[in-house]
């Protein structure tokens, strides 16, 4: 997690050299890579490992960039990261890059946790409310967690909107306990 700050510097360096058209290409690449690397942490560790020769690791990394739209950029980034032994922060860089691009497009990714599946009209209503609160267009990532009992929890990078029944009950218990004391 300490790598967030380093990752942030890399993503800001990448984005500073892109125009609006290029940003869209990069965003598409970021989504592809994020989805594939999220589940392949072992691959990331292996590519970053000193156990294997650098040349071979570079070759694997270059192959990873072949199907992307902005191959040149990724080749350069991967080669720098490998040489600096920082390939392990690639997921953090991708995450931050995505957020930066969203920021530029006035978009925000919101993780929405609900207790059970909700009808579309309810989700739309939540989405509208969140758009009003955040003053940005939102991209919802829905997660189901029965532990929150009901209601919803929405999270962004810097905000937590907790309207869950669990949170309300916890607060109620705290108030009751305080009164009992």
Partner 1 sequence: MKIQPDEISSILRNKIKGLKFDIDISETGKVVQVGDGIARIYGMDNVMAGEMIDFPGDVMGMALNLEEDNVGCIIFGETRKIKEGDIAKRTKKILQVPVGEEMLGRVVNALGEPLDGKGQIKAETYHPVERKALGVVQRQPVKEPLQTGLKAIDSMIPIGRGQRELIIGDRQTGKTAIAIDTILNQKDADVVCIYVAIGQKKSSVAKIVNILNAKGAMKYTIVVVASAAESASLQYLSPYSGCTMGEFFRDKGKHALIIYDDLSKHAVSYRELSLLLRRPPGREAYPGDVFYLHSRLLERASKLNDELGSGSLTALPIIETQADDLTAYIPTNVISITDGQIFLNSRLFYSGIRPAINAGLSVSRVGGNAQIKSMKSVTGQLRVALAQYAELEAFAKFGSDLDKATQAQLTRGRRLVEILKQAQYSPLSVAKQTFIIFMANEGYLDEIEVENVKKVEEELYSTLDSEYKEFMESMVKDKLSEETKEAMRKICKKVLSKF
- Cβ(144)–Cβ(109) under 8 Å? no
When binding is defined by CB under 8 A, the residue of 28, 159, 173, 175 that contacts partner 1 is: 159
3-class secondary-structure state, position 36: helix
Paired tokens of 169: 């009950």
Our finding on whether 11 is near partner 1 (CB under 8 A) is no
Our finding on whether 171 is near partner 1 (CB under 8 A) is yes
- Residue range at the interface with partner 1 (CB under 8 A); choices 38-46, 58-66, 138-146, 151-159: 151-159
Q: Which residue has the tokens 């490992």?
A: 49
Nearer to partner 1, 55 or 178 (CB): 178
Torsions phi, psi for 110 (to 5 deg): -120, 125
* C-beta neighbour count of 46 within 10 angstroms: 14
CA-based torsion, 8, 91, 100, 111: positive or negative:
negative
Please state, in angstroms and as integers, the Cα–Cα distance from residue 130 to each residue in 105, 124, 159, following that order. Answer: 17, 10, 11
Our finding on whether 160 is near partner 1 (CB under 8 A) is yes
Least distance to partner 1 from the beta carbon of 164, Å? Answer: 9
Least distance to partner 1 from the beta carbon of 105, Å? Answer: 20
When binding is defined by CB under 8 A, the residue of 24, 34, 131, 168 that contacts partner 1 is: 168
Our finding on whether 179 is near partner 1 (CB under 8 A) is no
3-class secondary-structure state, position 152: strand
Residues in contact with partner 1, counted by CB under 8 A, come to a total of: 20
Using CB under 8 A, list all residues that contact partner 1: 1-2, 4-5, 8, 133, 151, 155, 157-163, 165, 167-168, 171, 181
């Amino acid at each position: 997690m300490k790598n967030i700050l380093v990752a942030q510097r890399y993503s800001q360096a990448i984005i500073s050299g892109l125009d609006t058209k290029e940003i869209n290409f990069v965003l598409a690449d970021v989504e592809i890579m994020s989805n594939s690397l999220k589940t392949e942490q072992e691959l990331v560790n292996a590519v970053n490992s000193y156990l294997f020769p650098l040349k071979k690791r570079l070759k694997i990394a270059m192959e990873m960039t072949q199907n992307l739209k902005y191959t040149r950029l990724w080749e350069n980034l991967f080669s720098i990261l490998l040489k600096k032994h920082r390939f392990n922060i690639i997921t953090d860089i991708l995450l931050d890059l995505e957020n930066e691009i969203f920021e530029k497009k006035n978009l925000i990714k919101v993780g929405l946790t609900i207790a059970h599946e909700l009808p579309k009209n309810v989700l739309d209503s939540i989405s509208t409310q969140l758009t009003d609160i955040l003053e940005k267009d939102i991209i919802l990532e829905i997660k189901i967690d029965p532990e929150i009992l009901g209601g919803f929890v929405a999270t962004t990078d810097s905000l937590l909107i907790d309207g869950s029944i669990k949170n309300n009950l916890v607060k109620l218990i705290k108030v009751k306990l305080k009164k009992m004391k």
